[in-house]
Structure 1
Amino acid sequence: MLSRRGVVALAASVLLLGACGTSADDNGAQPGASAGSEKVTFEFWNLATAEPLKSFWADRVKEYQAANPNVTIKNIGIENDSYKPKLATLTQSGKAPDLYSTWGGGVLKQHIEAGLVKDLSSEAGDILGDFTPASLAAYQFDGKTYGLPTDIGMVGFWYNKANFAKAGISAPPATWTEFLDAVKKLKAAGITPIALAGKAKWPGHYYWAYLAMRVAGLDALSQAGTTNDFTGPDFVAAGQRLKELVDLQPFQKGFLNADYSTPDGQAATVSNGKAAMELMGQWAPSVQKDSGKGLGDDLGFFTFPSVDGGKGSAGDAFGGGGGLAVGVNAPPAALDFLKFALKKENHSKAVAAGGVLPVLKGEESAVTDPNIKVVSDALSAATGFQLYLDQAYPPAVGQEVNDAVAELIAGRKTPEEVVKVITETAKSESE
């Protein structure tokens, strides 16, 4: 989902590096088999710090350990904004967790090139056919599979229906012009239009990415990733459209210092009725509920508006999902546990709880949460799909997208300066 790199204190990094290794014996738990006499321990780094996924993974760990008493799983849940810096610190040292969350794309490819993750094509070959092709795509490179999906989804606007009604907005905006008009109506009604985690940066890149999709189109984004050139007029125009929004001052007071999932962050601001909407992925309802009061039946969803004259399809979706990769030095028990957790009878529990969208064929019937279903329906009707830019491109380029767009939103960079610095980083990385 999402690039959140930063400097980690030396002491913290030392602790991380010291804790990352396994105590696994080469004769650890075999795939599909109960434990033998040899003891094995492995670390499971994940993002499940909020319900329902926190309980889902804790339950799977307990079940697996009960069936395999020689296996100890260190279930390490790490908050979203802290995860990327910690993972980067570890992988830069030439190590990887035994089992860890990944969004695939350029970041996973970098881990692959560094020899940090297992090729699962053969060892997980017996279950690859169970997944939908779309959910597997972000973890496959050159015909090989290096991770297994646990979720897939898309980013869109989550909004407060009561706030929209109060502002006289009868229907979600379908075009960028209508969206800007809705922002003006909300402000006129004394309602903060949008909550944004400006400090986190990655939520802001969603706006520029979607506008680039709508203005320039998916092919242009793909080509820019190949040519390392984002200076074309359509990418500048995407920034200009975003500046139109920024100039309306639509965000909550203090947004530049706001995080995403903290009690006073983006999700809570919407959840507590202090802002009318947020642009966020399918996990938004659960994080809103976990960090605030929750909107209940007043919570609605609409897809990102089209842009008049744009080359991109209004039906193209932006997002990703989540998956798990296995470190190259992980014991066999790590993959065995992953296979266990992703059995349909197990994974469907996460789908039914509203924590994730289906990634397994035939799992659609498990979707019961109306908020998740509306995203699932929108995704199934999508005409195209773009992975998060801070995951689709190499890590340094993705981080520059986040940083540069954050500067635009803060009023410190122009649309032209944004594409220039992203291009410079991309060309530097390719040299």
Structure 2
Amino acid sequence: MKKSLSLLLTAAVSITMLSACGNNDDAKNTANNAKTGNNGTTTEAADPASEISGTITFLTNRTDMIDKEYVDYAKRFKEKYPNAEVKFEAVKDVDKDTKIRLSTGDFPDVVLVPTITASDLPKYFAPLDDLGLNDKIYFKDYKSFEGKVYGISVGATTTGIVYNKKAFADAGITSVPKTLDEFYAAAEKLKAKGIIPFASNFKDQWPLYPWGSELPSSLAGNANLNNERVNSDAPYTMDNAYGQALTIIRTMNEKGYLEPDINSTNWEQSKKDVASGKFAMYFLGNWVIPQVISSGTTSENVGFFPMPYDNSGKVNVVLAPDWGYGVNKNSKHLETAKAFVKWMLEDSGFDKFAGFIPVLKDRQSDMPQLAEFESFNPTKIEAVTDTPESTEIVNQAQITKEAFVQEFVLSKDPQSILDKYNDKWAKAKKAVSK
């Protein structure tokens, strides 16, 4: 389904809050009825301030915010809920780490929901429908099962080229490339000027995700591309969207447009290098823009445009939810954990800090880089949730798309890598169908 990015930037929906108060028996009965609802289900009024107490922990992927912004978040959350405290724990590979913790049954109160099948969501997470946000957010079905919401996206993203404008100007690049040939030509000019064209963060692996998912979907113009793999025993070919996307980054490496030593890259340092102009570009989501700016440059020096993956002059981009907040169903302080999720969405300001398109429909992004991105009139494709069957095959095959990208780029025979992953896919597909 296609939806304009501008819709996300301008939509407005009023948010109302239910409350119950009073100090007599009738008022108490009213509050109790509001808490359980006429049908026995929990409603938004289930969060009276008195129930928001205890200490909870949030497991996050934002290692850069520990001892910094999260200190302020903890202070502000406690100001709203004096009887509650929140602690933050950060890990680099949040998907892998969270899956391991889920398997043990011992995981923090609030996490970013990992890539598990939708049917497994109720095993680990509490429904969030009682937060009163279901009709006020985008991607409501993102982490849901049988009509219940188990995860709410921290924000919306689109993927493109984040670039240092001064580096472009110093290399004599007078206009943003709109075709793949122009993109390669710009990279060649940067290289000739002594500027490293592209920061891939190859060694850290996870920053390679757009090449294995978002870009293939854009190339195919199909949000369901990853799900439709279940219809084939050999979904990866050189001439389809997967092979074409992987070939672009392989070509960039062959031409010397990536880091001089791709096996010794460093994520945190790369943000400083893009900010300083030592590196010129990233291919990542809009979420990285504020991180580049805070690493040593100005907002005016950072631009954002769609990745030109062919020479047509037209481009599709995927509009997608980021990680989703999930609450441990066995949390000792369940209401506090839920209140924290709502606070993060409504009060923290994290979406603006992180450069996200707000997931709340009544919020607007004021990032000039998103306005620049929109000026290229890309066709937006709204991401869809991975189907249980697709997720099950991926997990059975133990396919990590970023590792797939690494192998394809470094192999002397890229077709052999496609064959390897097709074989893994076919065997897993057969196994899960039994």
Distance change (3 Å), C-alpha of 1:31 and 1:415: farther
CA deviation digits over 1:358-385, x for unaligned, max 9? 1112211xx333235545x479964313
TM-score normalised by length of structure 1:
0.76
Structure 2 distance, partners of 1:388, 1:203, is 21
Does residue 370 (structure 1) correspond to residue 383 (structure 2)? The answer is: no
Distance change (3 Å), C-alpha of 1:278 and 1:145: same
The residue number in structure 2 matching 1:120 is 128
Do the aligned partners of 1:51 and 1:355 also contact (CA within 8 Å) in 2?
Answer: no
RMSD of aligned alpha carbons: 3.4
The residue number in structure 1 matching 2:420 is 421
Sequence identity of aligned pairs in percent? 20
Deviation at 1:428, TM superposition (A): 4.2
Do the aligned partners of 1:160 and 1:295 also contact (CA within 8 Å) in 2?
Answer: no
Give the unaligned 5+ runs of structure 2. 1-44
Of 160, 185, 190, 1:186 maps to 190
Deviation at 1:109, TM superposition (A): 3.2
Of 109, 113, 131, 2:137 maps to 131
The residue number in structure 2 matching 1:72 is 85
Structure 2 distance, partners of 1:423, 1:388, is 22
Do the aligned partners of 2:127 and 2:148 also contact (CA within 8 Å) in 1?
Answer: yes
Q: How does 1:92-103 map to 2 (within 5 A)?
A: 92-102=103-113
Structure 2 distance, partners of 1:186, 1:304, is 17
Of 286, 292, 295, 2:290 maps to 286
TM-score normalised by length of structure 2:
0.75
Do the aligned partners of 1:215 and 1:238 also contact (CA within 8 Å) in 2?
Answer: yes
Do the aligned partners of 1:118 and 1:326 also contact (CA within 8 Å) in 2?
Answer: yes
Deviation at 1:50, TM superposition (A): 3.6
Deviation at 1:354, TM superposition (A): 5.8
| 2:227 alignment partner, SS class | helix
Does residue 385 (structure 1) correspond to residue 382 (structure 2)? The answer is: yes
Deviation at 1:43, TM superposition (A): 1.7
Give the number of the structure whose alpha-carbon radius of gyration is greater.
2
The residue number in structure 2 matching 1:11 is none
Give the unaligned 5+ runs of structure 1. 1-29
Distance change (3 Å), C-alpha of 1:140 and 1:66: same
Distance change (3 Å), C-alpha of 1:111 and 1:197: farther
| 1:155 alignment partner, SS class | strand
Deviation at 1:297, TM superposition (A): 2.1
Do the aligned partners of 1:31 and 1:335 also contact (CA within 8 Å) in 2?
Answer: no
Deviation at 1:307, TM superposition (A): 1.6
Structure 1 distance, partners of 2:225, 2:49, is 50
Does residue 342 (structure 1) correspond to residue 345 (structure 2)? The answer is: yes
Does residue 34 (structure 1) correspond to residue 45 (structure 2)? The answer is: no
Structure 2 distance, partners of 1:94, 1:408, is 36
Distance change (3 Å), C-alpha of 1:384 and 1:270: same
The residue number in structure 1 matching 2:267 is 260
Deviation at 1:71, TM superposition (A): 2.8
The residue number in structure 1 matching 2:235 is 230
Letter in 1 for 2:181: T
Letter in 2 for 1:423: N
Of 223, 226, 230, 1:221 maps to 226
| 2:142 alignment partner, SS class | helix
Structure 2 distance, partners of 1:203, 1:148, is 22
Do the aligned partners of 1:273 and 1:295 also contact (CA within 8 Å) in 2?
Answer: no
Structure 2 distance, partners of 1:153, 1:302, is 13
